[in-house]
Amino acid sequence: MSESTDTTMRQLGTVERDGREARVATLSQTYPTTPEDLWDAVTTAERIARWFAPVTGDLTLGGRFQVENNATGTVQTCDAPREFTATWEYGGEVSWLTVRVRGEDEGAARLELEHTAVVADEWWDQYGPGATGVGWDLGLHGLGLHLTNPDAARPEDESAWVMSGEGRAFVTASSEAWARASVAAGTPAEAATAAALRTTAFYTEMPTEG
């Protein structure tokens, strides 16, 4: 089941991965650029650093990479300029990314990001899909700003924006959108709403309401 707002689509599902049940969170966003430019923005270290975080290592097939203060991983497949897959290794756990670029009508391009992870039930019950989903929404928001102004440097303190009124509103809306996607996937509404409140508080340090 999916949740759409404007040009953003959020979808949740389950698959079996290495003999275990894994949850799949997919989000996609349309940008006013060409597929070639979008592909370059999400696969070139110098450009990734302008909208997401500095990346070191090897971003070619089979290469190992490190996202500053975040995950490490290995590029598993690459079908340029359409799709790549990679592991996403963080906190002792391994999850998997699939990133696709597609052309849209009228000079636009769509990015689809699929994150598959084996998640503990307790963690999922507490935060739901927004725990990682909000982070990816923030990343794709930064990508949109970069594509609008490619030469601009990434802000040194992005946390200051998240704590601003605009940033809090963005995080809240993202958490709520992921909660709706969770309900569409079968989560009881009360549980999904409570998880969204905890996720918003995690990102903004706002107190939860229950």
Q: Does the residue 26 lie in any domain?
A: yes
For 23-50, the pLDDT digits (tens) are 999 999 999 999 999 999 999 999 999 9
Q: Is 103 left (phi over 0), alpha (psi -120 to 50) or beta?
A: beta
Q: Confidence class of residue 169 from pLDDT cuts 50, 70 and 90?
A: very high
Q: Does the residue 140 lie in any domain?
A: yes
Q: Does the residue 209 lie in any domain?
A: no
Q: Does the residue 22 lie in any domain?
A: yes
Q: Does the residue 210 lie in any domain?
A: no
Q: Does the residue 193 lie in any domain?
A: yes
pLDDT at residue 18, as a whole number: 84
CATH number for the domain spanning 39: value is 3.30.530.20
Single-letter amino acid, residue 70 = N
Show the domain range for 154. 2-204
When divided into structural domains, the chain yields a total of 1
Q: What is the pTM of this model?
A: 0.91
Q: Is 2 exposed, middle or buried (0-12, 13-18, 19+ CB in 10 A)?
A: middle
